[in-house]
Structure 1
Amino acid sequence: MLLTAGVVIASMSGHRLPALTAEQNKALATTPADELLSLAMLQPDRVVDPLNAYQISKRGNALRVMAEAVRWGKRGARINTISPGIIFTPLARDELNGPRGPGYRKMLEGSAVGRGGTPDEVGNVGALLMGEEGAFITGSDFLMDGGVTAEYWFGDRSEN
C-alpha cells in the first residue's frame, strides 16, 4: 500500500482555460521549470492578460502533478492536486468586498450549490487524498468549486 502522499493546490481557474493541444499539455507538464518561459505558448504575444497567465499556471500545476505521479509511484508515493473555487478565507472575503466582488458574487449565486466553500471542505478532500481511503488516487485533479466551472461552460449565461 502506498502511504506517502502529497497534495498541491491549484485553482478552478485552470479549468476555465480553453483546451490546450496535446503538445501544449505535455510541454507544460514536462518542461524543466527553468525552461518554461522559453515555450512558444508562454510568450508575451500569446499570454494576453494576467488572468490568462494565472489560468495557464494553474492548468500547469495540475499537469505537472499528473506527470510527477508516474515518478512518485515508482518510489511508492502518490500526488494529486485540488482545484478549489472561491473558499471563504480572509483573502476571499477581502476580494468579495473589493472591486471584483460583484463578479465573484455572481459566480457564487449562479453555481449549483449557490455558495463558496470552506477551508474545512478543502481539508476534507486533502485528508481523503493523503489518507488510506485515497490509496488508489494519484495523478488526479479534484475540482471543487460548487459548480462554478460547470456553470461557466454549460450554464445559461449570456457571456458564453
Structure 2
Amino acid sequence: MTLLAGRTALITGAGGGIGRGIALRFAEEGAAVALHCRTAVAAAEALAREIGPRAVVLPGADLTVEDDCRRLVAEAADWGGGRLDALVNNAGVQPVRALPGMPTADWRAVVDTNLTSVFACTQTAAEVMRGHGGTITHIASVEARTPALGHAHYAAAKAAVVMHARAAALEYGPYGIRVNTVSPGLIERDGLEDAWPEGVRRWREAVAVGRLGRPEDVGDACVFLASHLASWVTGHDLVVDGGASARAAW
C-alpha cells in the first residue's frame, strides 16, 4: 500500500504507544519516517529497526523549548533531502492534578508540552513546506470537548490544539499546507486495565463498537489526513473514539 510513497514525515513522541502506531502506519504506506523521542530512546530505536532503512531516530529535543523544536524540524528535513511532507504533533503529557490548588508551574508544564510545542513545530515545519505544500496533524483528545476530573490543564491545552489547527488551516492554506487534528478516545496500552480497571470497564460499555482503541486506529486516521484522499480536508477535527461520544449522557 502506497498512500504516502515518496514522502518524508516527522512524528513527535514516537517512542510512546500512539506515536509508534502512527509511525508504523506511515511506514506501511510508503513514507520515510523521522522518529522524535525525548526519553523513550530505546523504544524509538527498536521501532526504527522494525521499520528498516526508511526510519531514523532523532532523540533529545525538548519540545517545550522553541530552539529544540526548530532544530528537530531542521534535522528531519535534512534527513529527507531538504524536504518535509508531513508532521504529526503527537508528543504530549497527561498528568492528573485537581484544579483547586494547582500550581502555575504544573499548568504551564502541561500547556507548554501539549500546546506550545505544537505551535513551534508547526510554525517551523510550515516554513519548510511552503515551497511544495504538506500536511500537519495534531493529536488532540476527546477531552478537548469533554474534560475529566483532574485534567483541567490537559483538556484546556487539547481544546486549544484543536483551535490552533483551525487557525493554522486558514493561514497556511494558501501555501498548500493542510492542518487538521485527530482526537482519540481511550487507547490501549500495556498495564492500562490493571491500573484503571473501572475506567476501562466504563469505556467498553460506552463504546459503540465494543472495544478500546488501538494505536493503529489513530495511525489510520493520520494516514488518511496526510494522504491525497483528504486533499480537500483542512481545519477538521477527526474524532477516533469508537462512537463513545455519540452516546447520550442522560
Cα distance in 2 for partners of 1:112, 1:14 equals 20
Counterpart in the other structure of 1:40: none
Structure 1: segments with no counterpart, 5+ residues: 18-48
Counterpart in the other structure of 1:141: 237
Cα distance in 2 for partners of 1:105, 1:145 equals 15
Q: One-letter code of the match for 1:65?
A: A
Q: One-letter code of the match for 2:156?
A: I
- Kept after mapping to 2: 8 A contact 1:3/1:132: no
* Equivalent in 180, 188, 192 of residue 95 of structure 1: 192
Q: Deviation at 1:5?
A: 0.5
Structure 2: segments with no counterpart, 5+ residues: 1-131
Q: Deviation at 1:137?
A: 0.4
Percent of pairs identical after alignment? 30
TM normalised by structure 2 equals 0.44
Runs of 4+ in 1 over 3 A off after TM superposition: none
Q: Deviation at 1:148?
A: 1.8
Cα distance in 2 for partners of 1:12, 1:104 equals 15
Counterpart in the other structure of 2:208: 112
TM normalised by structure 1 equals 0.67
Count of residue pairs brought into register by the alignment: 118
Tell me, yes or no, if structure 1 residue 79 matches structure 2 residue 179: yes
Q: Answer 1 or 2: higher relative contact order, Cα 8 Å, separation at least 6.
A: 1
SS in 1 for 2:212: coil
Q: Deviation at 1:107?
A: 1.7
Query: Which one has the bigger helix percentage?
Result: 1
Give the 5 Å matches for 1:13-92: 13-17=143-147, 50-90=150-190
Cα distance in 2 for partners of 1:72, 1:108 equals 39
Over the residues paired in the alignment, what is the CA RMSD in angstroms? 1.8
